[in-house]
Amino acid sequence: MKQGVVERLKEITRHNHVKLTNSGNSAIFLAFYIAKKNGKRTILIPDQGGWLTYKTFPEMLGLNIKEIKTEYGLVNFKDLKNKADNESALIIASIAGYMAEQPLKEISKVCKQKECLLIEDAAGAIGHKELCNGNYSDIIVGSFGRWKPVNLEYGGFISTNNKDFFDIDPELFIMFKFHEMFCKGLLEKLDKVGERTAFLRNTCEKIKRDLKDFDMVHRRGKGLVVVVKFEDDLEKQKLIKYCKQNKYEYTMCPRYIRVLDKAISIEVKRL
């Protein structure tokens, strides 16, 4: 059963080597560990629209951190070109802050030119036709946690086409071991991820139509949350009322994992 999951993830990621982990965070830690083992000294992270452990794990491993400027999570290419080099690794969420799709092919091109390792956090893009794509990303990590498209509420993975990347202390893989009792449920979730993602995206589009008069972040973006900015308390209360009436969970920004402006993030992916 476990091998079946691995083979399915090979198809999804277009990578030849996959390891299951006990969480998405474990996969991120392993990716940074691999980066360090392969001579990388700096982790480049987005200035917003990332994930919490992008900021904490590099320090644990003695790696430097540099922020890349973004447009609400979408990579600024000029800044990336200035900061990427052969001693750096870039980690990005392929759906920035769950709001909009990164131009992964173009990002990959810059990273290859600069010999910068590209780590794609594809937690929000598993099963995507263009993202979660081993043709572009050196390493892909993902999560099957609560409120993810593959919402098993347990586990994650790391994948690559470079088998030497997995030539690390085996104790790490034991420490982050995926329990096989979850394999059957994971396969079922993977089979349904396309259907679930379509439902979430359609719901996002409905919300965008409902709130068309508000200032929206990445209005044309294809994501799994809807982030709406507000100017004053009146606008904020209108947005909160809309969420409560429609039974949508929401979080308040500024938050690193969404945007650093005053906004409400309607957490469609929690449905």
Please give the CATH architecture assigned to the domain spanning 2-188.
Answer: 3-Layer(aba) Sandwich (3.40)
* pTM of the entire predicted model: 0.97
- 230-235 long-range contacts, CB within 8 A, separation 24+: 230/262, 230/263, 230/264
- Domain boundaries defined on the chain: 2-188, 194-270
Question: Over the stretch 212-271, which tens digit does the pLDDT of each residue have?
Answer: 999 999 999 999 999 999 999 999 999 999 999 999 999 999 999 999 999 999 999 999
User: Six-digit token pair at 175?
Assistant: 């420490």
Asked if 149 and 196 count as a contact pair (C-beta separation under 8 A), the reply is yes
CA distance 42 to 61: 11
> What six digits make up the tokens of 193?
């991820």
Q: How many CA atoms, within 13 angstroms, populate the side-chain half-sphere of residue 123?
A: 31
129 pLDDT band, cuts 50/70/90, is very high
Taking alpha carbons only, the member of 181, 119, 186, 182 closest to residue 150 is: 186
165 pLDDT tier (thresholds 50, 70, 90): very high
